[in-house]
Amino acid sequence: MMRALLLFLTLGVASAEDGLAAWLRYAPLPGVAKSEGSIPSNIVALNATTTSPVYTAGLELQKGIQGIFGKQVSITHQSIESLSTVVVGTVDAYAQEYGLDDDDTADLEADGFWLSTLNGTIQILGQNERGALYGAFEYLSMLAQGNFSQVSYISNPNAPIRWVNQWDNMDGSIERGYGGPSIFFQNGLIVNDLSRAEDYARLLASVRINGAIINNVNANASLLTPQNIAGLKRVADVFRPYGVQLGISLNFASPQLLGNLSTFDPLDASVIDWWTNITDQIYEAVPDMAGYLVKANSEGQPGPITYNRTLAQGANLFAKALQPYGGVAMFRAFVYNQLNESDWRADRANAAVQFFKDLDGQFDDNVVVQIKYGPIDFQVREPTSPLFANLLQTNTAIELEVAQEYLGQQCHLVYLAPLWKTVLDFDLKVDNQSSVVSDIISGKRFNRPLGGSAAVVNVGTNNTWLGSHLAMSNLYAYGRLAWAPTQDPEAILQDWTRLTFSRDPTVLRAITQMSMESWPAYENYSGNLGVQTLTDILYTHFGPNPQSMDNNGWGQWTRADHLTIGMDRTVSNGTGFAGQYPPEIAAMYEDPSTTPDDLLLWFHHVNYTHVLHSGKTVIQHFYDAHYNGSAVAQTFVPLWESLKGKIDDQRYNHVLFRQEYQAGHSIVWRDAISNFYHNLSGIPDTENRVGNHPWRIEAESMSLAGYKPYQVSPFEMASNYTAIVTLTNSTVGTADTTLNFPDGKYDVGVNYFDLIGGISRWDVSLNNNSIASWTGNLENVLGHAPSIYLDGHSATRKTIRGVQVKKGDVLKIVGTPNGIEPAPLDYVVFLPEGVLD
Ligand SMILES: *[C@@H]1O[C@H](CO)[C@@H](O)[C@H](O)[C@H]1NC(C)=O
Ligand SMILES: *[C@@H]1O[C@H](CO)[C@@H](O)[C@H](O)[C@H]1NC(C)=O
Ligand SMILES: *[C@@H]1O[C@H](CO)[C@@H](O)[C@H](O)[C@H]1NC(C)=O
Ligand SMILES: *[C@@H]1O[C@H](CO)[C@@H](O)[C@H](O)[C@H]1NC(C)=O
Ligand SMILES: *[C@@H]1O[C@H](CO)[C@@H](O)[C@H](O)[C@H]1NC(C)=O
Ligand SMILES: *[C@@H]1O[C@H](CO)[C@@H](O)[C@H](O)[C@H]1NC(C)=O
Ligand SMILES: *[C@@H]1O[C@H](CO)[C@@H](O)[C@H](O)[C@H]1NC(C)=O
Ligand SMILES: *[C@@H]1O[C@H](CO)[C@@H](O)[C@H](O)[C@H]1NC(C)=O
Ligand SMILES: *[C@@H]1O[C@H](CO)[C@@H](O)[C@H](O)[C@H]1NC(C)=O
Ligand SMILES: *[C@@H]1O[C@H](CO)[C@@H](O)[C@H](O)[C@H]1NC(C)=O
Ligand SMILES: *[C@@H]1O[C@H](CO)[C@@H](O)[C@H](O)[C@H]1NC(C)=O
Ligand SMILES: *[C@@H]1O[C@H](CO)[C@@H](O)[C@H](O)[C@H]1NC(C)=O
């Protein structure tokens, strides 16, 4: 009987570990007896209305205590005289029921809470209902981590706006989404089943996010049809119990596209009426709507400039319609034009300040200008956007991106909190006074009434939400930093790890090490020294393609030629961008000798032989960083493997697959970037690694039947520039060769290309004994933007570990093409222990 019960419990836990619960698993705490005094026996939730976040807090406490302690606790909605009670409610409700000594809660601000666990009575008091729910989640987070400290403290948010943005299209696709299709939209309408939307609101509330814009900033006017407004009401209804306010992105041309007006001029009376009417309709359905988000005159979107009106006039159009309801108009600063690279002084990074600085003071009080963290676009490293230092009479919010658009698309582990901190903690020294970005966006520095942060998240229907379990640390950390930007990224990560996986110190150590090393590693094997990510900006934003940066109008230039690299953004000789910062910062960036190495190429055009503060040349830094970064990515595999048995198999295997993929793709990055700049500069690697691959066998040099050589473009994406493809898409290809390596045990890497549009098959044998077979199905398993070409996105390494090899063995690879995927093969590498080639 006992055994059967244990078995049942074990199965129950294992089957639930699909990632859907993320960090809200409330996993049983081993070693804590049900009878322990500190476990509450009663829950008092001081609001009986089911839509109240306080009511939700009661349910959440019940669920958490059940999960963590296996103890069923009942909920009441008025005060009871009982020991061992957890009381949750607003300060006002509590004062009415119990009376209150003000001292403890006097300093609470909107959304803030007071939590006290002294003497076994738990008091969770919110300044408002949302704050009470946040306090309940805080207490549950402590319990779930086995933290029974006696505490009593208040917690207030850094800023009032803590929102997420979803780039969901109405057809259900998501722009830059890597976790499956939309949880909100399908076929132009809001989905019927909003259970995932509700789960999302719960996750967001648990990290104190209070608003969610649910549709793409490249917005479709049809969101505003009566049928869709009714759908928005349904979404708001499932968000409301979690204190998450709904917001929407607008298409500036909606009055014309949807309303049949002849104009969308923001000063035209019929346009103003139209927006007022639409706003009234929405607030009738959603009285507590958060507001609007507008991307105007950017990347082809319509906007006020179409009518020679200012961006402020455009923003204020919405602000005025929203104002009676207390709604906020978020207006994106991501406005820029195409430029000509032959103009040395042209610079997309200048655009935001050029467009917005002169409008400072012209925005209504309920407008918030939403500014990407850097002046270009979510790159692996950017300097802080100087616009934060140029809007002193305007509300601002920072825009971050949880979706790893340019940072591996959730197929590479990249813990982003340390990257965000480089901007949140940056002191812009406006008027020679401390002007830290987190104090600017909170409104504190310039005495603004509003401000905060928004992050592009793009969760999808996948059970993992973002496509990868480990990537969820970024959503968690975003919420934590939006609330308290001074928190330590590593401490946040460890809370997340304990909640998501385990309190086991081995698990904690491994995930901490992998995550904290992940952004530096990714920066090392992608774009260094502030040159930007070097991913393909014209196609998928995923794999390497340094050439795509230049010779186009997008302004993400590197200006690399055979002698020099980098953007001259100085005032003295370049684009003048450095001069957009306050004097002290401007002076630092103006001079290469005071510019930090990690932003050198952002600000300066230098020789490849320029010597960094580190003592290395620029080009040798590139080579070393790429070899070091990809070597670090290899270590994530054994680190993760050390957790086998300590994490449920479902999530263990999912993550292992991705870490192996990342290890292989980091080699693709390393070789592509190293080869590209080696070829361009002609400067050899002092360590003689670049272009020197003693353990590889190029596929084109094997005996081929049914396969032919193929020149890969861009050239640097294939070893020796050449891959092989089958003669036709119905010819099975064979490549074989006799091995000439010393006898021993090797890890065998097979580099191939996995395109979308076909599922080829590769069968690898040694002396006709199969050592591995797989299919090219990554487009169905990984979730990154796929490619139809042999390029840096499709290039993949498959590693077959521990293969015993003898000199004279015959290696044979049989490739079976399918669809447009001609079983492409680049090379095979035999890696003795300790070698990475
Ligand atoms: C209870 O919750 C409802 C819904 O959120 C709210 O309108 C009401 O003011 C709350 N009552 C108290 C006493 O806080
Ligand atoms: C908790 O107990 C201590 C001593 O046991 C007492 O001094 C203190 O006043 C109590 N605090 C509360 C909030 O009841
Ligand atoms: C327990 O939680 C409290 C409140 O969040 C925190 O201050 C404390 O550091 C935690 N203790 C441990 C050991 O994590
Ligand atoms: C906007 O949505 C409608 C309805 O789903 C769809 O027919 C139309 O193609 C969409 N427009 C754009 C530009 O995506
Ligand atoms: C706009 O015009 C289309 C077709 O001309 C019509 O179907 C639609 O009802 C009109 N909408 C409004 C709001 O007048
Ligand atoms: C919006 O305009 C329509 C007709 O143009 C009218 O029937 C409707 O009452 C208006 N709605 C609101 C909320 O003003
Ligand atoms: C645009 O507006 C500015 C100032 O409001 C005015 O000087 C200029 O002539 C206008 N241009 C056009 C093409 O209307
Ligand atoms: C100054 O700018 C010119 C282009 O106008 C460029 O060719 C030159 O390399 C720059 N000089 C320095 C020292 O960067
Ligand atoms: C770059 O190298 C060239 C020689 O190739 C030299 O003339 C020039 O001064 C160097 N520029 C800098 C900024 O060091
Ligand atoms: C590199 O590719 C060329 C054809 O593009 C081929 O002739 C040569 O043998 C290859 N080198 C190696 C080392 O396989
Ligand atoms: C989640 O995505 C992975 C690929 O990224 C896929 O294998 C899996 O089937 C998806 N699961 C769900 C439930 O969508
Ligand atoms: C080969 O390609 C053609 C045209 O692209 C396609 O119709 C056919 O199904 C493909 N054959 C195989 C075996 O995939």
Q: Which of 472, 781, 784 to mutate to test the pocket of ligand 11 (most atoms within 8 A of CB)?
A: 781
Distances (CA, A) of 134 to 53, 77, 121, 141: 9, 18, 18, 10
Rounded Cα–Cα distance for residues 334 and 145 (Å): 40
Rounded Cα–Cα distance for residues 525 and 623 (Å): 9
Segment 258-281 mean pLDDT: 98
- CA of 729 from ligand 12 middle (Å) equals 6
Return the closest-CA partner of residue 196 out of 18, 55, 318, 42: 18
pLDDT, one tens digit per residue, over 703-760 is 999 999 999 999 999 999 999 999 999 999 999 999 999 999 999 999 999 999 999 9
Q: Which amino acid is at 145?
A: Q
Q: How confident is the model at residue 104 (pLDDT cuts 50, 70, 90)?
A: confident
Bridge partners of 168? 174
Domain 3-155 in CATH 3.30.379.10: yes
Give the pLDDT confidence score for residue 4 in this predicted structure.
37
Give the pLDDT confidence score for residue 213 in this predicted structure.
98
Q: Which residue has the tokens 């290309």?
A: 753
Return the closest-CA partner of residue 579 out of 716, 720, 375: 375
Q: How do the domains of the chain map onto residue ranges? A: 3-155, 161-500, 546-567+605-681, 696-832
Lowest mean pLDDT among 2-16, 157-171, 315-329, 411-425: 2-16
Q: Which two tokens stand for residue 120?
A: 């076994």
Q: Report CA Rg, the chain.
A: 28
Answer yes or no: are the C-beta atoms of 514 and 413 closer than 8 Å.
Answer: yes
Answer yes or no: are the C-beta atoms of 228 and 281 closer than 8 Å.
Answer: no
For residue 260, the ligand 5 atom closest to its alpha carbon is 1
Answer yes or no: are the C-beta atoms of 119 and 403 closer than 8 Å.
Answer: no
Give the pLDDT confidence score for residue 38 in this predicted structure.
72
Domains 546-567+605-681 and 696-832 fall in the same CATH topology? no
Reported CATH class of domain 161-500:
alpha beta
Fold entry, domain 546-567+605-681: Alpha-d-glucuronidase, C-terminal Domain (3.90.1330)
- List helix spans (H) across 395-504: 417-424, 437-441, 472-483, 489-500
Give the pLDDT confidence score for residue 78 in this predicted structure.
86
- CA of 228 from ligand 4 middle (Å) equals 13
DSSP secondary structure of 339-405: --TTSTT--GGGHHHHHHGGGTT-S-TTEEEEEESSSSSS-SS-PPPGGGGT-SSSEEEEEEESS-T
Three-class SS state of 81: coil
Say if residue 10's pLDDT is above 50: no
Which CATH superfamily, name and number, covers 696-832?
Galactose-binding domain-like (2.60.120.260)
- CA of 98 from ligand 2 middle (Å) equals 17
Rounded Cα–Cα distance for residues 368 and 356 (Å): 12
Give the pLDDT confidence score for residue 31 in this predicted structure.
74
Three-class SS state of 528: coil
Answer yes or no: are the C-beta atoms of 204 and 479 closer than 8 Å.
Answer: yes
Residue 573 beta carbon below 6 angstroms from any ligand 8 atom: yes
Answer yes or no: are the C-beta atoms of 536 and 672 closer than 8 Å.
Answer: no
Lowest mean pLDDT among 16-25, 278-287, 514-523, 623-632: 16-25
Give, for 623, the enclosing helix (H) or strand (E): helix 618-641
For residue 758, the ligand 12 atom closest to its alpha carbon is 14
Say if residue 553's pLDDT is above 70: yes
Ligand nearest to the CA of 216: 4
Answer yes or no: are the C-beta atoms of 586 and 570 closer than 8 Å.
Answer: no
Question: In the 3-class helix/strand/coil scheme, how is 190-230 assigned residue by residue?
Answer: ECCCCHHHHHHHHHHHHCCCCEEECCCCCCCHHHHCHHHHH
Rounded Cα–Cα distance for residues 798 and 751 (Å): 6
Better pLDDT: 199 or 37:
199
Which residue has its alpha carbon closest to ligand 12 atom 2? Answer: 819
Residue 563 beta carbon below 6 angstroms from any ligand 9 atom: yes
- CA of 7 from ligand 10 middle (Å) equals 59
Say if residue 287's pLDDT is above 90: yes
Give, for 724, the enclosing helix (H) or strand (E): strand 722-726
Q: Which two tokens stand for residue 373?
A: 């963290």
Helix, strand, coil percentages (3-state) for the chain, rounded to 5, are 35, 20, 45
Return the closest-CA partner of residue 121 out of 66, 40, 55: 40
Ligand nearest to the CA of 101: 2
- CA of 298 from ligand 4 middle (Å) equals 19
Return the closest-CA partner of residue 78 out of 57, 93, 63: 93
Rounded Cα–Cα distance for residues 442 and 437 (Å): 8
Segment 604-631 mean pLDDT: 98
Return the closest-CA partner of residue 376 out of 634, 152, 577: 577
Q: Which two tokens stand for residue 255?
A: 């009055």
Residues in the ligand 1 pocket, defined by CB under 6 Å: 47, 49, 51-52, 90, 93, 129
pLDDT, one tens digit per residue, over 335-346 is 999 999 999 999
Say if residue 103's pLDDT is above 90: no
pLDDT, one tens digit per residue, over 337-391 is 999 999 999 999 999 999 999 999 999 999 999 999 999 999 999 999 999 999 9
CA triple 293-205-162, angle to 5 deg: 35
Q: Which amino acid is at 732?
A: V
Say if residue 35's pLDDT is above 60: no
Q: Which amino acid is at 156?
A: N
Say if residue 3's pLDDT is above 50: no
- CA of 153 from ligand 2 middle (Å) equals 15
Q: Which of 568, 601, 607, 618 to mutate to test the pocket of ligand 9 (most atoms within 8 A of CB)?
A: 607
Mean pLDDT over the full length of the chain: 96
Helix axes 269-285, 226-239, angle to 10 degrees: 40
Bridge partners of 544? 535
For residue 52, the ligand 1 atom closest to its alpha carbon is 5
Ligand nearest to the CA of 818: 12
Rounded Cα–Cα distance for residues 282 and 226 (Å): 9
Say if residue 9's pLDDT is above 60: no
- Tally of residues, the chain: 837
Segment 763-787 mean pLDDT: 97
Sign of the Cα torsion 222, 228, 232, 238 reads: negative
Segment 817-821 mean pLDDT: 98
Which residue has its alpha carbon closest to ligand 6 atom 10? Answer: 277
Rounded Cα–Cα distance for residues 551 and 142 (Å): 53
Q: Which two tokens stand for residue 233?
A: 């009401």
pLDDT, one tens digit per residue, over 669-700 is 999 999 999 999 999 999 999 999 999 999 99
- CA of 333 from ligand 8 middle (Å) equals 30
Which residue has its alpha carbon closest to ligand 5 atom 10? Answer: 260
Which residues neighbour 819 within 8 Å (Cβ) at sequence distance 6 or greater?
729, 757, 758, 759
Q: Which two tokens stand for residue 314?
A: 């455009």
Give the pLDDT confidence score for residue 306 in this predicted structure.
94
Say if residue 102's pLDDT is above 80: no
Catalytic residues: 299, 377, 405
Which residue has its alpha carbon closest to ligand 6 atom 4? Answer: 277
Distances (CA, A) of 769 to 216, 696, 705, 772, 806: 52, 21, 19, 9, 13
Q: Which residue has the tokens 């050899």?
A: 684
Question: In the 3-class helix/strand/coil scheme, how is 55-71 assigned residue by residue?
Answer: HHHHHHHHHHHHHHHCC
Q: How confident is the model at residue 37 (pLDDT cuts 50, 70, 90)?
A: low
Say if residue 62's pLDDT is above 80: yes
**Helix and strand numbers, DSSP H then E, in the chain:** 20, 29
Rounded Cα–Cα distance for residues 166 and 416 (Å): 18
Which residue has its alpha carbon closest to ligand 6 atom 3? Answer: 277
Say if residue 327's pLDDT is above 50: yes
Give the pLDDT confidence score for residue 33 in this predicted structure.
58
Say if residue 7's pLDDT is above 70: no
Residue 693 beta carbon below 6 angstroms from any ligand 10 atom: no
Ligand nearest to the CA of 732: 12
Exposed, middle or buried by CB within 10 Å (0-12, 13-18, 19+), for 99?
exposed
pLDDT, one tens digit per residue, over 508-533 is 999 999 999 999 999 999 999 999 99
DSSP 123: E
Q: How confident is the model at residue 151 (pLDDT cuts 50, 70, 90)?
A: very high
Give the pLDDT confidence score for residue 12 in this predicted structure.
36
